Amino acid sequence: MMMNKTQATCIGLIAILLWSAIVGLIRSVSEHLGATGGAAMIYTVAAIFLLLTVGFSKLSEFPKRYLFWGSILFVSYELCLALSIGYAHTHRQAIEVGMVNYLWPALTMVAAIIFNQQKTNLWIIPGFILAMTGIVWVLAGDEGINMLSMANNVRDNPLSYGLALIGAFIWAAYCTVTARIANGKNGVTLFFILTALALWVKYFMFPAEAMDFSVQAVVYLLLAAAAMGFGYAAWNVGIIHGNMTILAGASYFIPVLSAALAAVLLSTPLSISFWQGAAMICIGSIFCWFATQNKD
């Protein structure tokens, strides 16, 4: 039994590694297939992977509130995530957008405290402040805390940064709401199908870039879809059968892992200030998590 729990925990840790590659892979796909078309293809293939691994449960088995709110929040978040990265003007900007998105762990903890009466202590205050400071540090660039520099950086592409920030709040809401109304059900396969459909509607209704299906594009597409689909499937195994404490703690290192993998995939060197900001986001999120684990 202990071995099974250990194996499940390891599978959950694999999900964290897969998710950490998403920023770089989404960006790579979007450069070949376009922001909208690339995202639509990723979620379509990922949905197929999920149908083959997780399967598709009967809708009648799900709480109606979970189907409604879960679908809206999940699809909205995934659209914000994929399009914010796809719309980035440069590789560096795509990685920065990914960092903004990774505010969600700290925001999730705050939302759980406010709406789910999650017990906490004063560690939540420095944790949240540090996570927010990390975002400011990343966006300010190499000049440190310089509000003018940060404003100029965001002004270059407010759509991408705005979508990433909105997405962070939406995912925090999703985690908070589904914890209360999901009743142990997992609608991830349905949610991926709905996300793919929403992206295809956008692709055909509004002008979009032409898709160039080169060998390299297909390889990136398969990798991105596998990271998405199998990441969620592996995480589901981990949180149901593994050690959730270990998995929750490890998940807060995703920003640094994501930046490192994206820097390699996109051949983009990152400055010391960027890594400092990414570390602040990680440490701040860990403080927020720690605040909910120590209630004395």
pLDDT one-digit tens code per residue, 245-284: 677 667 777 878 888 888 888 888 888 888 888 888 888 8
pLDDT one-digit tens code per residue, 166-211: 999 998 888 888 877 878 777 889 999 999 999 999 999 987 777 8
* Higher local confidence (pLDDT), 122 or 292: 122
259/101 Cα distance (integer angstroms): 12
CA dihedral (129, 131, 134, 135) in degrees, to 10, reads -100
| pLDDT band per the 50, 70, 90 thresholds, residue 3 | very low
CB 279 within 8 A of CB 256: yes
pLDDT at 1: 40
pLDDT one-digit tens code per residue, 127-166: 888 888 887 777 766 665 556 666 777 888 999 999 999 9
Give the structural domain span for 84: 5-291
Whether 84 is covered by a domain: the verdict is yes
Strands (E) located in the chain? none
Structure token digits, residue 75: 């699809």
The total number of structural domains that make up the chain: 1
Average pLDDT score, the chain = 84
Whether 296 is covered by a domain: the verdict is no
CA dihedral (10, 130, 113, 286) in degrees, to 10, reads 20
CB 192 within 8 A of CB 129: no
Whether 69 is covered by a domain: the verdict is yes
pLDDT, mean of residues 26-42: 94
pTM given for the model: 0.84
